Amino acid sequence: MKVVIVGGVAGGATAAARIRRLDEQAEIVVFERSGYVSYANCGLPYFIGDVITDPAELTLQTPESFFSRFRVSMKVHHEVTALHPDRKTVSVTNLETGETFEESYDKLLLSPGARPTQPRLPGVGLDKLFTLRTVEDTLRIKDHITQHHPKSAVLAGGGFIGLELAENLRALGLEVTIVQRPRQLMNPFDADMAALLHAEMRRNGVRLALGHTVEGFVEKDGGVDVLLKDEAPLHADMVVLAIGVTPDTALAREAGLALGIKGSIVVNDRMETSVPDIYAVGDAVQVKHSVTGQDALISLAGPANRQGRIAADNICGGDSRYRGSQGSSVIKVFNLTAAVTGVNETNAKKAGLNVDTVLLSPMSHAGYYPGGRVMTMKVVFEQETYRLLGAQIVGYEGVDKRIDVLATAIHAGMKATELKDLDLAYAPPYSSAKDPVNMAGFMVDNLANGLLRQWHLEDADALPRDGSVTLLDTRTTGEYRRGHIEGFVNIPVDELRERLGELPPDKPVYVICQSGLRSYIACRILAGHGFECYNFSGGFRYYDAVMHDRRLTEQALPCGMDQ
């Protein structure tokens, strides 16, 4: 059996190694148009910022090491220019010599990945305008910074690459502005959770120009003007386009393979395309979102690796199945860690799901053990069934551990109420006896049993201030004085039983505290005395952070922003 693989990196290289482990006799040829067959593309921003200093560290395998270990012929600087399914060959150009030839195959695996989205805007292609996707892109940016010592950069796009690059450019001393059309960074997160990331970016000197449309680029005064719709241009010494990626599927389209979202390659759960003996994996393929069941594009290394293994199994006669992508991911944002899995509240509602959420602010480990830090967790679940749909966490240490537990729970089809039953490891330096994941489960269980009723951030402005309801803040007097929501009266929770007479017994009570715990205790006290009570989900700390971010985003102009 002869297998030809188009593209290396996560999907193609993984498949090549797996095929060899399953079939020692197979002839395996990989064509990669770049000079690197297997590299750590997730580490590219950290090389620019000197966190990784040796470019060799970015290369996971070389053609020589891959051949030595697996006897796979890795041909870099070779571009496949056409597929010929009718005669089971591919056309190839050697980019170093210009030679062209056809290569035959019994099985063909496409792993072309995705390319940086290049908008059709005036000025795209300027020397000081970069993209970041490959090792070559990285070296180009690094060389430009080393040779020209830019003082400022504009990043168009606020996804994973944009945030990681912003942090690393700040570490080099550059002034950094992120500009993009959406009014939040990191679309996998809901806007309220993204507000916590905005605050961290601003704390570290990154300017945010959110909700602004880029209309083009002009070379000016030795740098680049980024032209904005209805706003003055942003000027910088260099610009990086990080507005996302587009499946690189021209070969598949020209060969007549079925295509899906944004021109991605349609595959079944065996990673087979619409054409016999042709498989496809990685960022170029359309997948099913494992939570919503909807078609999706999810460009992450983990799914690409799993798809490569599954395709290899099936190429070698097995029957492996891809169960879909869940979108689990984690990112370092200066001192914060932010992680997400499953579907967020916004997208769950767009998918037609009837959802609710719980928000909590637990400590990363036992409060009495030094060094604990608060994290903010948002857990999304289906109202009628309590099926666990997704989670987002922003905090410090321990975030990655909790998101992985929640990702596993979603994959296993658990209900959110069942999180309370998970038997998770505990020692004071690492967790609490009631782990944050368990705490989320307790909260959802209280909702399911009618012990807890909530009100949410989007309800705040609509709460009547005409005396028809009671608005109660149960924090200490000092906390209340430092900031509160207009219209809320202050009765600290520890004084509540003695001061019940101050509350009209026939009116619903909407309660808030700093994190949601004291207000929940207050609600149980009030319920025990016949009151109808609703607890604010998230607490005043969360409310204040989100509202502060909204004010900054609405008021700030991209030029001369005061943040």
Q: Which two tokens stand for residue 278?
A: 């042709």
* Paired strand residues for 355: 382
Q: How far apart are the first and last CA of the chain?
A: 61
Beta strands in 416-481 (DSSP E): 454-455, 470-473
d(CA 72, CA 65): 10
Verify whether residue 42 is a known catalytic residue: yes
Name the nearest CA neighbour of 279 among 92, 6, 8. 6
Distance, in Å, from the CA atom of 339 to the CA atom of 368, rounded to the nearest integer, reads 26
Residue 312: CB partners within 8 Å, gap ≥ 6? 14, 15, 16, 18, 19, 22, 109
In angstroms, rounded to a whole number, what is the distance separating the alpha carbons of residues 507 and 468? 7
Of the residues 42, 513, 533, 559, only one is catalytic, namely 42
Whole-number Å distance between alpha carbons of 353 and 387: 11
Q: Where are the alpha helices (DSSP H) in 55-98?
A: 63-70
Of the candidates 9, 11, 79, the one whose C-alpha atom is nearest the C-alpha of residue 312 is: 11
The alpha carbons of the chain give a radius of gyration, in whole angstroms, of 27
Distances (CA, A) of 349 to 89, 187, 345, 370, 387: 46, 15, 6, 40, 14
Helices (H), 483-528: 517-528
Q: Strand, coil or helix: what is 505?
A: coil
Residue 217 Cα distances to 127, 183, 223, angstroms: 11, 21, 10
Instruction: Give Cα separations from 151 to 48, 200, 448 (angstroms).
Output: 15, 21, 55
Which residues are paired to 239 by β-bridges? 129, 154
Query: What is residue 259's DSSP assignment?
Result: B
C-alpha dist (Å) from residue 146 to 47, 50, 142, 464, 526: 13, 11, 6, 59, 64
DSSP secondary structure, 94-105, as one string: ETTT--EEEEE-
- Helices within 282-395 (DSSP H only): 301-315, 345-350
The residues annotated as belonging to the active site are 42
